[in-house]
Every structure is written in C-alpha cells, then in structure tokens.
C-alpha cells in the first residue's frame, strides 16, 4: 500500500494510515475536511477536552476529542480550530455523541479554510486503544528507519573494508536516496561527487547548476550533514555531506543514513589526512636533508624517484616558501600540501613538494625543460603557492604574507646548495616589500644582515643607530619625514630627477631635503662609502627595534 510505503520511509505514520488501524476504523471515521492532506505525518497522539489545548501541543499530533472543549458558539469553535491549525497538528478527530450529533458547519468550514484534516467518528472508541495502536506504529516506523539506515551503513563499511574510499561511500548514499550526493569543504568547495545512477543527470552539472546559484546558503530542500573534524567535543567541521533534492525530496531516513555515513567519512578523512601529512613531511625531510648535505648529490636521484619525482636530465629549480611566524606546527599542513599540489598541477613541470611545519617552510624542486624558462615557471609556481595558502586558510588576517624565494637552476649538487640558500633567504626576506617571488641572488645583502642580526643583534642595532639615528629621531618629532626621501634617493642611485618624480616633489624641494639629510647626518651623499653604509642601514633597520 502507498501509505505503508510512506510510513516506511518517513519513520512515522500518516493520518491515512492511522484511520486504517483497527481502533479508529472501528469508530467509522468520516473525513469531512482536509481529505487532500491525509498523507501528513503523525508525530504523536494526544487526547484532551480543554478549550486551550492548542497551547499544550507542539505540532504533528493527532488530536482525539469528544468536543467538550470546542465551545458552544460558532465564534469560539472557529477560534479553537484556527489555533489548532496554526499550531500545526496533523489532524483533528472528533467523536460524535453527547456533545455533537454531527459537527457544526463553523468547525467544518474553518478546518477546510485552514487545510486541517478533520475527521468525525460515528461510533464510540476507546481513546487509549487508539493511542496505543498509533504509538506502536510510530515506534515500529522509526525502528524500520533505523534498520534501513543501518543497512546503508553496513554497505558503506563493506565498501571501505574492501579498499574503497569516499567516492564509494557517496555512491552508496546516492543510490539509496535517488539523488546526487556531494562532499564539500567547510567553506563550500567541492571535494567529491556521486550520481544516483546512469539514468540521472551528471552530478557535476547538477552541482554547478544548483549549488552555484546558492553561494550564501544551501538550495531549497537540500540535506546537509557535517563531517566532524576533530576529537570528541571539539565541535570542528572537516567537511560537509550535501544531498541535493533533484529527483525527489530527501526523507528522514536519508538524513539518518547520511549521519551514519558521516562518522565513517570522518575516520577516512582523518586517516587520509594523516597519511597525506606524513608523506608531505617525508618529502620535506628529504629536501631538507639534501639542503643540509646529509644526502649526497649522486644518491639523490634514486631517492627522489622513490618519492615519485622523475625530472630526468632536466635542470632543477629550488624554491622555498616561508609562512609567517605563529602558525601551529600541525593542523592545516596536510590541507596546505594538498591544496598547493593541486595548484601546482597546472604548472606543467615535474614537482617534488614537501612541508616542514617546525620551520614554517614549504620546500620544493621543479624540473625545467631549460634554464631559460626559470622566470616563467617561477611566476606560475609563486601564484600556485599563494593560492594554495589561501585555500588552506593558512593566511591569517594581519599576518605577514608568505615569502617565496626562487634559487638558481642547475643539477643535483646545485639544487642542494640552492635549497639551503633559498631556505635561509626566505627567512631573511620576511618583512620586505611584498612581491610574488624573490630571486635568491638579489637578497644576499639582506641574508648577510639577517645573519649578523642573529649573531650579534646589539652590533647591528648600533650600526643602524650610527648611520641613520639622527634621521629616525627627526622623523619621530618633525614633518616631513626624511627617511623615505633618503631611501628613494638611494634606490634610484642618486638620480635626482627620478627621485623627485617618484616622490612627486619639485626639484628645489628635493634639493632642500637632501641638504637637510646631509646636515643631520654630517655626511656627503655623493661619497660612495657613505652611500653604501646608508643603504645597508636602511635595509637592516627592520631587524632592530
């Protein structure tokens, strides 16, 4: 029967099914209003005779009454029925007898206008029997739901134990629900998709069509289930199951099955994440060992092949990305490695990518077709690295942007020294003017100053103070500041016309400022030794307080 099928999938009992049970059927039920809504689900049964009974209900109840609380006047009866309809009860069943020989027209008309199923019983029935029968059906329906969901969970578990992964679990859910199922990240990016069968629409087209139109929230009728991402009680969400209502509306049993599957997916994703992070760390360890000389250049190609890196005889390009300080040592590094790897896939060259969470570094080697494409590849790699950082959520608000340093292309021996140089330079370059990437060869002075800062910070601070201390004092007290003028002047190698143009100053104003700088410092800005010392001091000042 159709009603039993509805009952089996909804996990409750419809009004129609309740009227077919022996208890109510024995009362000779007559539907006098709302016959088109008998497929409503009955959540519970309640019997009562008080006028304010609507305030005691939550919605979804089948209300049994003899009509004593319905009121004597038509106005009272209309209010009574209207309040029940507003409360959202499943149906109102009135037993005829001492109170009503037949339901008054005010009650029937109000029920019809409100779309509330209204049933009158022509014979007396024991309400307790009706309650027991309906509640038994409801409990049995919920048990049937749990059995169906358990069967789906068993199939998902078998798929995983058989070597399957996330796609197989989604396929089981899609087949059971008859709708496409998706796994997306917590911020809405698609990870996996599964269709309900060959007869149904391509799930990716469905995603782009339906989900793409609802970026601010789920499409109407969609079923969303969170896949937990942390330990017990953490409350974090790693991913989200999305079942879109394409072929039919999702039912309660589909939510139960999806919730069961979400637990299995959480374990799968956690294991995959751990394996992925271990693999990324292993590649990072190899690249670090290569940079530190613990792996000889002649042994490196064989070990790299084991890790899946086969550049052949191509020149190797070392690249290191350094993230801002303060990031956690674990957490998002596996996500970062995956995101960066996916972005780098479009670069079109062999890549060996690793992570070093302790140092906050992402080292990598790339195989070039020729050294002439170094700049073009560096542009694409830097863009991919930054995009991966953004996708992984590793760029915190207010934090320094990631620094990407590109070394010199060459063989395995050059790659060893290049990785070490790029790693140090990436740390030394933090705080410089943000650029897509830095050429390691152009940052040797910054690297030298950074090493001096680490070796003897007080000596570097004293040097900066001797060289530009009077200008720093001036800029703290007076305007216009003179340090920007000096920095621009030195950046243009003393060419006054270009300096004035960049600073939007006329020549005479620039000459006055340069004269003031010379006066404060007691130096000649045309002296090569003075220019060298001032250039070094300006580059070193970011290392000292």
- Does residue 264 belong to any structural domain of this protein? yes
* Structure confidence at residue 545 (pLDDT): 62
pLDDT tens-digit map of 106-155:
999 999 999 999 999 999 999 998 988 888 888 777 777 777 777 888 88
| Domain match, 225 and 131 both | no
* Coil/strand/helix, residue 521: helix
| Domain match, 175 and 294 both | no
Band of pLDDT at residue 77, cut at 50, 70 and 90 = very high
| Domain match, 120 and 152 both | no
pLDDT tens-digit map of 51-63:
889 888 888 889 9
In this prediction, what percent of the chain has a pLDDT beyond 70? 86
In this prediction, what percent of the chain has a pLDDT beyond 90? 34
Token pair of 441 as six digits: 């060869």
Residue 276, burial from CB neighbour count under 10 angstroms (0-12, 13-18, 19+)? middle
- Does residue 418 belong to any structural domain of this protein? yes
* Structure confidence at residue 264 (pLDDT): 79
pLDDT tens-digit map of 391-440:
877 776 667 889 999 999 999 999 999 999 999 999 888 888 889 999 99
pLDDT tens-digit map of 305-327:
878 899 988 899 999 999 887 55
Mark which of 216, 251, 271 sits at the end of a domain: 271
Distances in Å between the alpha carbon of 314 and those of 103, 302, 321, 408, 484?
91, 15, 22, 13, 44
Q: CA 182, CA 176: separation in Å to the nearest integer?
A: 14
| Domain match, 261 and 286 both | no
Helix-strand-coil split of the chain, %, nearest 5:
55, 15, 35
If you ran DSSP here, which 8-state letter would residue 202 be given?
P
Give the global pTM.
0.50
Give yes or no for residue 191 having a pLDDT over 90: no
- Does residue 451 belong to any structural domain of this protein? no
* Structure confidence at residue 446 (pLDDT): 86
| Domain match, 283 and 423 both | yes
| Domain match, 432 and 288 both | yes
Please report which residue ranges of 123-186 form alpha helices under DSSP H.
Answer: 127-161, 166-177
Q: Is the peptide bond before 480 cis (omega within 30 degrees of 0)?
A: yes
| Domain match, 495 and 508 both | yes
* Structure confidence at residue 3 (pLDDT): 33
Band of pLDDT at residue 261, cut at 50, 70 and 90 = confident
Mark which of 104, 138, 172 sits at the end of a domain: 138
Q: In whole numbers, what is the pLDDT of the chain averaged over residues? A: 83
* Structure confidence at residue 252 (pLDDT): 76
- Does residue 450 belong to any structural domain of this protein? no
pLDDT tens-digit map of 272-307:
666 667 778 888 889 999 999 988 989 899 888 878
pLDDT tens-digit map of 13-36:
889 989 999 989 999 999 999 999
Q: How many CB atoms lie within 10 A of CB 196?
A: 23
- Does residue 125 belong to any structural domain of this protein? yes
- CATH number of the domain to which 267 belongs: 3.30.450.40
Q: CA 291, CA 363: separation in Å to the nearest integer?
A: 10
| Domain match, 482 and 438 both | no
- CATH number of the domain to which 339 belongs: 3.30.70
| Domain match, 74 and 111 both | yes
Per the DSSP assignment, residues forming a β-bridge with 33 are: 118
Could you list the residue range(s) of the whole structural domain that residue 383 is in?
A: 276-444
Per the DSSP assignment, residues forming a β-bridge with 118 are: 33, 92
Mark which of 138, 158, 189 sits at the end of a domain: 138
Query: Residue 403 in contact with residue 426, Cβ under 8 Å?
Result: yes
Q: CA 268, CA 12: separation in Å to the nearest integer?
A: 33
| Domain match, 305 and 410 both | yes
Ramachandran quadrant class, 97 (left: phi over 0; alpha: psi -120 to 50; beta: rest):
left
| Domain match, 118 and 156 both | no
Query: Residue 210 in contact with residue 148, Cβ under 8 Å?
Result: no
If we measure between CA atoms, which residue out of 156, 160, 157 comes closest to residue 175?
A: 156
C-alpha dihedral, 35 to 40 to 43 to 46, nearest 10°: -10
| Domain match, 71 and 182 both | no
Band of pLDDT at residue 329, cut at 50, 70 and 90 = very low
- Residue 406: in which H helix or E strand, if any? strand 403-406
Q: CA 158, CA 479: separation in Å to the nearest integer?
A: 74
């Amino acid at each position: 029967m159709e009603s039993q099928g509805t009952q089996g999938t909804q996990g409750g009992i419809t009004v129609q099914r309740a009227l077919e049970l022996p208890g109510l059927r024995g009362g000779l039920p007559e539907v006098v209003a709302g016959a088109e809504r008998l497929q409503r689900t009955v959540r519970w049964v309640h019997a009562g005779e008080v006028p304010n009974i609507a305030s005691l209900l939550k919605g979804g109840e089948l209300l049994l009454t003899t009509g004593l609380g319905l009121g004597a006047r038509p106005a009272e009866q209309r209010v009574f029925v209207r309040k029940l309809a507003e409360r959202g009860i499943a149906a109102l069943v009135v037993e005829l007898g001492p109170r009503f020989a037949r339901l008054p027209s005010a009650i029937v008309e109000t029920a019809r206008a409100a779309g509330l199923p209204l049933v009158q019983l022509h014979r007396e029935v024991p309400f307790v029997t009706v309650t027991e029968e309906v509640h038994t059906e409801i409990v049995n329906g919920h048990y049937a739901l749990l059995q169906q969901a358990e069967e789906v969970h068993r199939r998902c578990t078998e798929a995983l134990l058989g070597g399957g992964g996330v796609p197989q679990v989604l396929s089981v859910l899609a087949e059971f629900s008859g709708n496409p199922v998706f796994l997306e990240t917590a911020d809405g990016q698609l990870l996996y998709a599964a269709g309900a069968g060959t007869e149904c629409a391509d799930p990716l087209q469905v995603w782009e069509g339906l989900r793409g139109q609802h970026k601010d929230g789920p499409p109407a009728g969609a079923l969303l289930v969170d896949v937990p991402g942390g330990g017990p009680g953490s409350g974090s969400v790693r991913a989200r199951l999305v079942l879109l209502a394409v072929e039919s509306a999702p039912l309660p049993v589909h939510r139960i099955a999806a919730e069961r599957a979400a637990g299995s997916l959480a374990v799968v994703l956690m294991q995959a994440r751990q394996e992925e992070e271990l693999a990324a760390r292993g590649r990072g360890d190899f690249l670090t060992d290569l940079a530190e000389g613990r792996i000889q250049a002649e042994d490196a190609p064989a070990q790299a092949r084991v890790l899946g890196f086969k550049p052949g005889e191509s020149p190797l390009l070392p690249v290191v990305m350094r993230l801002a300080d303060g990031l956690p040592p674990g957490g998002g590094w596996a996500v970062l490695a995956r995101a960066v790897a996916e972005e780098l896939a479009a670069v079109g060259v062999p890549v060996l990518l690793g992570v070093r969470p302790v140092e906050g570094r992402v080292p990598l080697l790339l195989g070039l077709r020729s050294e002439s494409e170094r700049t073009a590849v560096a542009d694409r790699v830097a863009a991919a690295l930054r995009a991966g950082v953004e996708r992984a959520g590793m760029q915190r608000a207010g934090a320094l942007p990631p620094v990407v340093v590109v070394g010199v292309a060459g063989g395995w021996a050059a790659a060893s020294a290049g990785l070490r140089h790029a790693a140090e330079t990436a740390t030394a370059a933090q705080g410089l003017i943000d650029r897509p990437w830095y050429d390691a060869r152009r940052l040797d002075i910054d690297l030298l100053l950074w090493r001096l800062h680490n070796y003897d910070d007080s000596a570097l601070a004293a040097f900066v103070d001797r060289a530009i201390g009077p200008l720093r004092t001036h800029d703290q007290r007076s305007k216009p500041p003179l340090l920007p003028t000096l920095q621009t002047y030195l950046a243009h190698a003393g060419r006054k016309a270009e300096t004035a143009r960049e600073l939007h100053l006329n020549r005479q104003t620039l000459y006055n400022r340069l004269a003031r700088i010379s006066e404060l410092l007691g130096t000649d800005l045309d002296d090569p030794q003075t220019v060298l010392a001032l250039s070094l001091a300006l580059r070193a000042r970011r290392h000292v307080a």
